[in-house]
Amino acid sequence: MEILQSAAALQAQTEKWRREGQRIGLVPTMGALHDGHLRLVQAAAAENDVVVVSIFVNPTQFNNPDDFRLYPRLPEADAALLGPAGCTALFLPSVEEMYPEQSKLRFDFGSLEQVMEGAHRPGHFNGVATVVSKLFHLSRPHRAYFGQKDLQQVAIIRQLVADLSFDLELITFPTVREADGLAMSSRNRRLSVEARKKAPQLYKALQLGVRLLEENRPVASVKNEVLQFLAMEEAITLEYFEIADARTLQTVEELTQPQEVALCIAAWLAEVRLIDNLLISAKSL
Ligand code: PAF
């Protein structure tokens, strides 16, 4: 596996691959890799001739300076996992390499970003869209891989790809979970032992919501029950729990068929913020 640190080196390498007719898969990450990332890399390796994985803790998408400062950074351990998973080239740029000067570009995704993560993390999706656009331009992938845990991010990137005519296929994979249901996340490494014990309650809250919807309970009462369930857990400070249309991400008041809905949650366990979601099809209710 090759390690590329400059944008020019990545561009030269991927241009060469393109000339040779090789299909390129891209897996953008911020590192501190877990099995969720590795499944994306393995899928990219199975479906493409070469795989680029980027590891870049992108400062422009952090609205909270402590979150940026404390985000786990483990480049050596990550690199050791990537070769066996099928990565051909690891792109590991510095902040200066990605942003030689401050980016002035501003994206507006309208209603897609006025809810949930977008509403609670001002500027977050502007930073995501900026860095993902840069990565797409530099590596010109045929396919790009993202995890469904970041459901709203996927919706934003889908819009970005459509609006800017990026010539690539967007591939998403279901959330990978620990044995107790906790969604795998790089931020899980920052949980204290106590917080780690409580963290699966987020998944349990989502499961409760799904169960109640399956019992045909009204959306408002499902929300109330889930909020009550979470309120019993002192260690969890809820930021939001939403039942939203999985495509538009707008809150739904009632389920209509055929509709796919997403139950989405964001909460703090001490100083660590976690998100999770479950999808459910109204057709199956
Ligand atoms: O999901 C992530 O890890 C990041 O938001 C991404 C897509 C790599 C952009 O920095």
Q: Is 148 in the pocket of ligand 1 (CB under 6 A)?
A: no
Q: Is 139 in the pocket of ligand 1 (CB under 6 A)?
A: no
Q: Is 29 in the pocket of ligand 1 (CB under 6 A)?
A: yes
Q: What pLDDT, on a 0 to 100 scale, did the predictor assign at position 281?
A: 85
Choose the catalytic residue: 37, 120, 124, 137: 37
Dist CA 138 CA 135 (whole Å): 5
Q: What pLDDT, on a 0 to 100 scale, did the predictor assign at position 285?
A: 66
Pairing relationship of beta strands 50-55 and 89-91 according to DSSP bridges? parallel
CATH 3.30.1300.10 in the chain is located at 186-284
SS3 sequence of the chain: CEEECCHHHHHHHHHHHHHCCCCEEEEEECCCCCHHHHHHHHHHHHHCCEEEEEECCCHHHCCCHHHHHHCCCCHHHHHHHHHHHCCCEEECCCHHHHCCCCCCCCCCCHHHHCCHHHHHCCCHHHHHHHHHHHHHHHHCCCEEEEECCCHHHHHHHHHHHHHCCCCCEEEEECCCECCCCCECCHHHHHCCHHHHHHCCHHHHHHHHHHHHHHCCCCHHHHHHHHHHHHHCCCCEEEEEEEEEECCCCCECCCCCCCCEEEEEEEEEECCEEEEEEEEEEHHHC
Q: Which residue has the tokens 């660590």?
A: 272
Cα separations in angstroms, 214 against 121, 201, 203: 31, 20, 16
Q: Whose CA is nearest to atom 9 of ligand 1?
A: 128
CB 61 within 8 A of CB 152: no
- What atom of ligand 1 comes closest to residue 58's alpha carbon? 10
- Mind listing the pLDDT tens digit of every residue in the chain (285 residues)? 999 999 999 999 999 999 999 999 999 999 999 999 999 999 999 999 999 999 999 999 999 999 999 999 999 999 999 999 999 999 999 999 999 999 999 999 999 999 999 999 999 999 999 999 999 999 999 999 999 999 999 999 999 999 999 999 999 999 999 999 999 999 999 999 999 999 999 999 999 999 999 999 999 999 999 999 999 999 999 999 999 999 999 999 998 877 899 999 999 999 999 999 999 987 666
Q: Is 147 in the pocket of ligand 1 (CB under 6 A)?
A: no
Q: Whose CA is nearest to atom 8 of ligand 1?
A: 29
Q: Whose CA is nearest to atom 1 of ligand 1?
A: 29
CB 71 within 8 A of CB 95: no
User: Ligand 1: which of 53, 68, 132 to mutate, judged by most atoms within 8 Å of the beta carbon?
Assistant: 132
Q: What pLDDT, on a 0 to 100 scale, did the predictor assign at position 259?
A: 83
Cα separations in angstroms, 27 against 84, 133, 136, 147: 15, 13, 10, 10
Q: Is residue 120 flagged as an active site residue?
A: no
Cα separations in angstroms, 204 against 69, 88, 138, 267, 268: 30, 38, 40, 13, 15
Centre of ligand 1 to C-alpha 76, Å, is: 19
Region at 244 (left for phi over 0; alpha for psi -120 to 50; beta for the rest) = beta
Centre of ligand 1 to C-alpha 238, Å, is: 23
Centre of ligand 1 to C-alpha 31, Å, is: 9
CATH 3.40.50.620 in the chain is located at 2-173
- Spatial CB neighbours of 198, under 8 Å, sequence gap ≥ 6: 233, 235, 236, 269
Q: What is the pTM of this model?
A: 0.97
Q: Whose CA is nearest to atom 5 of ligand 1?
A: 128
Altogether, the residues listed in the chain come to a count of 285
Question: Which fold does the domain 2-173 belong to in CATH?
Answer: Rossmann fold (3.40.50)
Dist CA 149 CA 182 (whole Å): 11
Correct CATH for 186-284 of 3.40.50.280, 3.30.1300.10, 3.40.1160.10, 3.30.750.200: 3.30.1300.10
